[in-house]
Chain A
Amino acid sequence: AIQMTQSPSSLSASVGDRVTIACRASQGIRSDLGWYQQKPGKAPKLLIYAASTLQSGVPSRFSGSGSGTDFTLTISCLQPEDFATYFCLQDYNYPRTFGQGTKVEI
């Protein structure tokens, strides 16, 4: 199975900060990667698919980049509602595998 490694596992930030989260695949996965946001007690929410395509309704301060093995999620100007945990997910092959998550805290 493809291993997805996120970094950092957690980070502290302030409202207005630019935040970057990395995700590395153990083998090339083209652009078959999505990013999800999860808040406590809630299901994950799709933010980005195909590595860089914003899901409908997601604010433009979220962006994704990368292909092959290295990917990045960027939040350009952190808002209070963005404090959450973020996961990457590869859909290149089965089994689908998630990164371990990055918790964005104040």
Chain B
Amino acid sequence: EVQLVESGGGLVQPGGSLRLSCAVSGFTFSSYWMSWVRQTPGKGLEWVANIKEGGSEKNYVDSVKGRFTISRDNTKKSLYLQMNSLRVEDTAVYYCARDNSYFWLGSYYDAFDFWGQGTVVTVSS
């Protein structure tokens, strides 16, 4: 059974740091891209970042570039999100998701086929 379990959320002051973790099981972690997605009542769902199977390629949404760093440890089957210089607007539920690539009718399509349960990050003074 595929499982993704996030941890590390909590309350932090503006300007502070937090490190989220996502422990996975039930699939070959090192064979998949992985993503972080966040959700707020006001802004809805927002893709934050993703990382290639071996960690050599990373992509970020502009609003977190230079502040957040995605990483992974394939030996520990874990995904991480280091969040620095946190802002009130970073308050959200953060999900990790498996970023699967489907080959269909001659093309590749990406989709988040498994998600964790989410961890809450609150940035407030």
Q: A residues touching B (Cβ–Cβ < 8 Å)?
A: 1, 30-32, 34, 36, 42-46, 49-50, 53, 55, 87, 89, 91, 94-101
Interface string of B66-109 (1 = CB under 8 A from A): 00000000000000000000000000000101000010110101
Give the number of residues in B that approach A within 8 Å (Cβ atoms): 24
| CB-CB under 8 A for A46 and B112, given A94-B59, A95-B47, A97-B47 | yes
8 Å CB contact of B110 from A55, A91, A95, A99: A91
- Give Cα A98–Cα B48 distance, bound, in whole angstroms: 11
Asked if residues B116 and A98 are in contact (CB atoms below 8 Å), the reply is no
Listed by A's residue number, 12 A-B pairs whose Cβ atoms lie within 8 Å are A42-B117, A43-B117, A43-B118, A44-B95, A45-B115, A50-B107, A53-B104, A55-B111, A55-B113, A95-B47, A95-B59, A101-B44
- Which 4 pairs from chain A and chain B are nearest by CB? A43-B115, A96-B47, A49-B111, A98-B45
